[in-house]
Amino acid sequence: MGTPLAERLRPRNLDEFIGQTHLVGKGAVLRKMIDSGRIPSIIFWGPPGVGKTTLANIIANTLHAPFYKLSAINSGVKDVRDVIEKAKNNRFFETAAPILFIDEIHRFSKSQQDSLLHAVETGIITLIGATTENPSFEVIRPLLSRCQVYVLKPMDVKDLQVLMERALTEDDILRGKEIEIEETDALFRFSGGDARKLLNILELVIAAEETGGRIVITDKGVTERLQENPAAYDKGGEMHYDIISAFIKSIRGSDPDAAVYWLARMVAGGEDPKFIARRLVISAAEDIGLANPNALLLANACFDTLQKIGWPEGRIVLAQTAIYLATSPKSNSAYLAIDGAISKVEQTGNLPVPLHLRNAPTSLMKELDYGKAYKYSHDYENNFVKQEYLPRELQNSTFWHAQSNPSEAKMKELMKRLWEDKK
C-alpha cells in the first residue's frame, strides 16, 4: 500500500500550512517566534487533524533543531529519559535546543510528566506537546507553568476548500486523474474541520469510484461510501465528540437504553475505555451530584476496575455504571454552586480572611488577634455553633441551593435547623 494522501500532502513549511492564521499567519505570535529562531516549550491544544504534529515538524525544520518524537500511548519513563540523554549529547553551543514532540501528552502519567520537568526547566529540550484534552486538567501544574499553551481551531470551509484544491492539483497521483467535484457539502460535513479526515475521505471516495475514466464526486456518493466503510467511526474525529456528547446527554436525560446504545457505538468503534470512564466520573459529579452521592463513588470504582481487569470485560463495568447514572436522580446544585462562587470571586477579588478564621502559628500572630474568638464547633452541643465564615463583605451570601430530591431535601432541612433563616 502506498503513502496515504494526507501524508503526501503534509506541509513542509509555514507557507504551505493551511489554517491557524491566528497563530502562524503573517505577524501572528507563533510565527514571529518561529521566524526569530527561538521558541519556548509549547502545548498545542485542539481537535484532531488541525496541524499539531505538522506544526511541530515545521518548527524543528525551520529552527534546524534535532527532533525527537514520542507517543504517550506506547512510551514510558525510560523512553523519556533515553531521549533526554540523546538530546544532551546533541546540544551544541548557541544552537537551538533539541525538540521533543509528545503526541497525546494528556495520556502521560504524573510520573512520566515529572520525568520531563528538569530537562524543560534547564533548556536541555524544548518540549512540544499535542493534546485533544484541556491541558489544565491533564498536564501537571509545574510542567504546564513552563509551557505556552496555544489553541488550534478546526479548519473552516474556506480552509478545507483550499486543501481539497491543493490535493487535486498538486498531488502527484491525483492530478493525473480526471476528477470533478460536483458537490462539497458531504465532504466538508463528514470531515468536521479535520484536514486529515477530509483527505482520507477524498482518497476513499476516489478509489471507490475509479473506473479508469472521469470521476464525479457528489454528496450522495460520499455519504454512501462512508456508510459502507466500517471505519466511519473515527475515535479521533468529529463523530468521537458527537457520540460522547450523545452518551452524556442520554445519562443526563435519564435514558438508560440510549446511554447503553451510545456506549455500544463507542465500544464497537474502538474508543479508549479510559476516555469513557473519565466522562462518567465527570457526569456523576456534574449531573447526578448531591441527589445521589454514591454515583461518584461508583464512577470512580468503575475507573479503578477498568485499569485492573482491562478489556473486553471492562465493557460490562462501563455499562453497569452508565445505567446506574442514567437511572439516578439528577442534580447540578454543586456545579452551579462552585460556578456561582467563582463568579463572585472574580467580581470581588481577594477579600481578607476574617481574623477569627486565620491560622495563628506564631506568638506575633496571636498578639494580632489571629484566631481570636474562633469557636471550635465540637465544643458545642450537636457539634455546631453559629459564627460567620465568609468575608464581611459577603455575609449572608448563598451559593448552594438545594434542588428537589430526597437527598438534598435532608441536607436542606439540616441547614435550616442549624442556621434558621440564614441558609
Which candidate, 148, 151, 233, places its Cα nearest to that of 192?
233
Name beta bridge partners: 180. 216
Helices and strands counted in the chain (H then E): 20, 7
φ/ψ bin of 147: left (φ > 0), alpha (ψ from -120 to 50), beta (otherwise)? beta
Widest distance between CA atoms in the chain:
93
- DSSP class of residue 289? G
Alpha helices in 229-361 (DSSP H): 238-252, 256-268, 273-283, 294-309, 314-326, 333-348
152: DSSP letter: P
Q: So what's the pLDDT on residue 59?
A: 92
- Cα separation, 323 vs 316, in Å, equals 11
Task: Print pLDDT tens along the chain (423 aa).
Answer: 578 898 899 998 898 999 999 999 888 999 999 988 889 999 999 888 899 999 999 998 898 888 999 888 777 788 888 988 888 887 666 677 889 999 889 888 888 898 899 999 988 999 999 998 888 878 889 999 999 999 999 888 999 999 999 999 999 889 888 888 988 888 888 887 888 889 988 988 888 877 667 888 988 888 888 766 545 445 445 466 778 888 999 999 989 899 999 999 888 877 788 889 999 999 999 999 999 999 999 999 999 998 888 878 889 999 999 999 999 999 999 999 988 898 888 888 888 888 887 776 666 666 666 677 788 888 888 888 888 888 888 888 888 888 888 998 888 888 888 887 665
How many CB atoms lie under 10 A from the CB of residue 190?
A: 22
Domain with CATH 1.10.8.60 in the chain: 157-231
Options 1.10.3710, 1.10.3470, 1.20.950, 1.10.287; CATH of 353-419: 1.10.3710
Cell of 271: 474508543
pTM: 0.58
**How much is the pLDDT for 76?**
79
State which amino acid sits at residue 394.
L
Question: For residues 75 and 69, is the Cβ–Cβ distance under 8 A?
Answer: no
CA distances from 230 to 25, 224, 227, 265, 268 (A): 38, 12, 7, 12, 10
- Residue 230 is predicted with a pLDDT of 45
CA distance 292 to 290: 5
Q: Which residue(s) pair with 148 in the sheet?
A: 42
As its CATH architecture, domain 20-151 has 3-Layer(aba) Sandwich (3.40)
Find the Cα–Cα–Cα–Cα dihedral 215, 218, 220, 221, rounded to 10°: 20
Strands 179-181 and 215-217: parallel
Q: Given this model, what pLDDT does residue 75 score?
A: 79
Architecture of domain 157-231: Orthogonal Bundle (1.10)
CA distance 151 to 45: 5
130: helix, coil or strand? strand
Q: What is the DSSP letter of 382?
A: G
Domain with CATH 1.20.272.10 in the chain: 238-326
Q: If one looks up domain 238-326 in CATH, what number appears?
A: 1.20.272.10
The pLDDT value given to residue 297: 95
Q: Which amino acid is at 124?
A: I
